Chains A and B, each alone.
Chain A
Amino acid sequence: MIPLDQVLVFSGILFALGVYGVLTRRNAIAILMSVELMLTAVNTNFIAFGVFHRPSLAVGLVFAVFVITVAAAEVGLALAIILRIYRQRTTANVDEVDILKW
């Protein structure tokens, strides 16, 4: 079995990659993909901790299932809004969506 700390380091790297993507990507869809990377790190953590603590209770696994479901709903909504913005301004780049500032 893989030791817990190795899984945590792995998910930490995954989360950091997600944060890096969120901060550097300009395309709204790429930002969403980076958020998904962060959520994957979260799910890895939940599953690892769940197995580590009490596998019979499956609390960590249940949490991960909820996270996946809610994230799917959020992404669906996000794509709808991005689609509308693209139709209005023919761009999905967040640095060009800047009517509101300062």
Chain B
Amino acid sequence: MSTVRFGPELALLVAAGLVVLVDLAYPRRMVSLALGLLGVAAAAVWTLALGFGGGRGSAFQGTLLVDNFSLFFAVLVLAVTGAVLLASWDSLRAMGGREAEYVALMLVAATGALLLAGVNDLIAIFIALELTSVPQYILAAFSRTNRSSEAGLKYLLYGAISSAVLLYGMAFLYGATGTTSLPGIAHALSAHDGRTAAAVVGMVFVAAGFGFKMAIVPFQMWVPDVYQGAPTPVSAYLSVGSKAAGFAVALRVFLTALRVDGLATDWANMFAVLAVASMTIGNVGALWQRDIKRLLGYSSIAQAGNLLVGLAAATATRGDVLGASGVLFFVAAYAFTNLGAFIAVIALSHRLGSDEIDAYAGAWRRSPLLAVVLAFCLVSLTGIPPTAGFWAKLYIFNAAVRGGMVWLAVIGVLNSVISAAYYLGVVGVMFMRPPAEERRISLSPVVGLPLIVAAVGTLAFGLVPGPLIAAAEHAAAVFAH
């Protein structure tokens, strides 16, 4: 049964190996991409089969869990990976015969992200985190340009430092409890007063380590640099897939292992403060960006701040998982919205040959579809109805209010107002300013497909958010007790 529950990850790994092997015989961009997508599809089918076929349970003596929470994130990560692979179609051409490596690394990164949502033991969490991070370091440095190398180096150095910090925290959690399994830690902490010095030190350092993956203040320095320097599809993956995995593992660790009286109040307050800092620094930093990828980098820091509001509220009332389901709903809505924005940027910048926002002047006249989708996604990121982003913000701020953190919700709403300035500024450039030239911008159908799906998803969940909210609440119910 262990191997069956490990199936989705196995499918991705097999596909990654096949992509590299087949490339030796048939070095074609299309073959690599098709095999990669096939692997993602196989993993998705397997995940759904586990979900609908009663495959929930644990594998490898409780190290890996298959529950509603891990299934929710597995579907999300696989959808994001498939969309990013499709959106890489144009960028793959510029990679000079290394398409297979690109696809394979993407699949391995997805394997790690999938594992992160399900693992239930500190050792396995560390391995899964590195499994998803190391391929992303390589991908960030993939395009052999000066900028890309610099992005890779910065991402790797910050990543190595943060994993050392994370491990130091894990060592103290292990020291305080004598076990590495998350339920074991919870059990040992609640057996006597859990708020020992070792446990507090462990908690803070572990939060710092995950903070890097979630891209929150004060571990946000790498975000704008890496998003700007890395190949754009990789930035898209980092901003959505990697962030989702970071929040998945943080929710699992803090709500399973560290939800002990006293300690829980400590980390809820800590995350509330970090939420305010992330939202404010992200939004203020984005105000004077001239590069669209950098702007989206700062925006992703601010959005991580919004997500942290949910994490802070997650433990406010015992037995209530409104905060946790808020994070899940927000992550899913954000995935559609941000992917839509990034894919539109991929398509536009590829033809314009520039990431400067000024180059987007008059994009409305040159490609109505891309301009409308990008504008719509930016409106959703601001949180204006009728978009998924609106409901996500409403839901997560509601969780803060219900958790007795009204001030946090107020600051969140004020920050949304600041963010409107730069999100709508880009919309203004695309629609109000005259284009530099009239030549139409073409869109290849392979890139167009994920773009349309993301935009339609953002609109559909903006009009009918019910099903997605129900799924998020169902998944978060894992943590109710």
Q: Which A residues fall within an 8 A CB radius of B?
A: 15, 18, 22, 28, 31-32, 35, 38-39, 41-42, 45-46, 48-49, 52-54, 59-60, 62-63, 66-67, 70, 73-74, 77-78, 81-82, 84-85, 88-89, 94, 97, 99-101
Decide: A100 near B127, CB < 8 A? Known: A45-B171, A82-B153, A88-B149: no
**Closest partner residue, chain B, to A98 (CB atom):** B150
A70-B127, A74-B134, A88-B149 known; A22+B161 contact, CB < 8 A: yes
The A/B interface has a contact count, at CB < 8 Å, of 110
* B134 engages A81 (CB within 8 Å): no
**Do A18 and B138 touch across chains, with their CB atoms under 8 A apart?**
no
Whether the Cβ atoms of A38 and B168 lie closer than 8 Å is yes
Known A-B contacts A81-B141, A97-B153; the reply to A59 vs B179 at CB < 8 A is yes
Q: Which of B168, B224, B229 contacts A42 (CB 8 A)?
A: B168
Interface majority SS (helix, strand, loop, mixed), chain B: helix
Q: A interface, by DSSP: helix, strand, loop or mixed?
A: helix
B contact residues vs A (CB 8 Å cutoff): 122-123, 126-127, 130, 134, 137-138, 141, 144, 146-147, 149-154, 156-157, 159-161, 163-165, 167-168, 170-172, 174-175, 178-180, 224-225, 228-229
Are B175 and A45 closer than 8 Å at their CB atoms? yes
Could you say which residues of chain B place their CB within 8 Å of the CB of A85?
Answer: 149-150, 153
B171 touches A101 (CB 8 A): no
For A41, the chain B residues whose CB sits under 8 A away are 168
Tell me if A35 and B123 are in contact (CB < 8 A).
no
| Residues from chain B with Cβ under 8 Å of A60 in the complex | 174
B155's nearest neighbour on chain A, judged by CB, is: A81
For residue A11, give the distance in angstroms from its CB to the closest CB of chain B: 8
Q: How far is the CB of A95 from chain B (nearest CB, A)?
A: 12
Are the CB atoms of A77 and B157 closer together than 8 Å? no
Which listed residue (B134, B150, B160) contacts A32, Cβ 8 A? B160
A and B contact pairs by CB, cutoff 8 A, 12 listed? A35-B160, A45-B175, A49-B178, A67-B167, A73-B134, A74-B134, A78-B153, A81-B152, A81-B156, A82-B153, A94-B153, A100-B224
- Distance (whole angstroms) from the CB of B423 to the closest CB of chain A: 20
CB distance from B66 to the nearest CB of A (A): 23
Q: Which of A15, A63, A78, A97 contacts B160 (CB 8 A)?
A: A78
Q: Is the CB of A99 within 8 A of B147?
A: yes
* Contact B225–A74 (Cβ < 8 Å): no
A residues near B160, Cβ cutoff 8 Å: 32, 35, 74, 78
Pick from B137, B138, B149, B229 the residue with the most CB of A within 10 Å. B149
Tell me which residues across on chain A come within 8 A of B151, comparing CB atoms. 100
Please report the C-alpha to C-alpha distance between residue A81 and residue B148 in the assembled complex, in whole angstroms.
Answer: 10
Q: Are A35 and B168 in contact (CB under 8 A)?
A: no
Residue of B nearest to A46 (CB): B171
Assess the A100–B147 pair: CB atoms within 8 A: yes
Residues of B within 8 A of A73 (CB): 130, 134
